[in-house]
Amino acid sequence: MNNPLKQRLAAGERLFGCWLTLASPLVAEALACAGFDFLVVDGEHSPADAMDTVALLQAIAAGGSQPIVRLTDNTTWLAKRALDAGSPTLLFPMVASRDEARRAVAAMRYPQHGNDGARGVAGIVRAARFGLADGYLQTANEAACTIVQIESAAGVEAAGEIAAVDGVDALFVGPADLAASLGHLGDSRHPQVQQAVDRVLAAARSSRKAAGIFAGSATEARDYAARGFTVVALAADVVWLLAGARQALAAARG
């Protein structure tokens, strides 16, 4: 089993994606067809449940994009369900320490060769083609891609230690929660927030890990890419739906 997204992260490619908040497989497939490198199934702030996640993963694959599932919490059993559903790349929210990063990595791995893997074993899951994928158990650890989300003042302070954890593939900044943590709720462009963003970017680069971030607009996306972020989420499905609809409606009304 291989994971193209993990390989592209390691190669330092610049990737653009989009958040899926509507839990709609049709929307997911359409955005995958639009050419996004990755799509994030949001399990934290969307109504998507376990079965929705499966349908969204199927739709993303049909459209030719790569999936990332953002978990509700940094919890082993949630990671297990998302991995078994067929997403080898997971995004763990609110990681604020080296120990929390290690817990995320352990949740991604089967116990093997003396590692600290904590993933439960089941060979008949969708990820293993329901038991028909030869060698899945032996190759799943290598394909697993762990992205940890830095979205608090504590996470920024520990960013260097988090980035240095073996098995962490990327650090991903959540500007909205980071702004709130720093006392600037609703103002992710505040200079103090942007200084924290740059600290996370520097920590990732120091450990030769990919750095990602959520951008609220194309202008922000270009700015973050120019600063060195290689994984940029370009807002969310509902943002583009509303933007297009309101623009068309305004034009029609004259």
* 45 assigned to active site: yes
Tell me which residue has tokens 């305004």: 250
In contact, 209 and 6? CB cutoff 8 Å: no
Q: Which of 45, 113, 184, 190 is catalytic?
A: 45
Q: What angle in degrees, to the nearest 10, is found between the helix axes of 76-85 and 98-108? A: 40
Burial of 11 (0-12, 13-18, 19+ CB in 10 A): exposed
Distance between CA atoms of residues 69 and 44, nearest Å: 10
Task: Kindly state the tokens that stand for 238.
Answer: 């509902």
Neighbours of 51 (CB within 10 A): 9
Sign of CA dihedral 180, 172, 232, 19: negative
Burial of 183 (0-12, 13-18, 19+ CB in 10 A): exposed
Q: What angle in degrees, to the nearest 10, is found between the helix axes of 50-63 and 76-85? A: 40
Phi, psi of 88 (to 5 degrees): -80, -5
Tell me which residue has tokens 């509507």: 22
Q: Which residues are catalytic?
A: 45
